[in-house]
Structure 1
């Protein structure tokens, strides 16, 4: 068994492709959070093209970790 972890980080300003991808992912999570009655702060993430979207902030930062595990029998 072996595994490898890769950390992906994005700092503002986000490249267009990263901005589009993460804005859509954030919108999906925001809809789920709002449907569950969680904080109204999620509303800022709900509209990918919103004028005050957190991903457009000068301090925007995204960190994503991915793990690939391979095992043989």
Structure 2
């Protein structure tokens, strides 16, 4: 998916927020694990937006969760 530079800036900010505030399902910080939205509306919306842009893959179980894709990890390093 091709994104504009403005979208990339917004996605970067959103990805950093998710990376900073959401933890993996087991409570640890791990970019290779499944991030848990902790049933927070903002966290759920953030994960779903990043899934839509291919930065995360949907790993939903009992609540919305996601896993970083290679594109998402690359975005976080930019």
> Normalising by structure 2, what TM-score?
0.34
Whose strand fraction is larger, Structure 1's or Structure 2's?
A: 1
Whose helix fraction is larger, Structure 1's or Structure 2's?
A: 2
Structure showing greater Rg = 1
> Normalising by structure 1, what TM-score?
0.36
Q: Which has the higher contact order (CA 8 A, sep 6+)?
A: 1
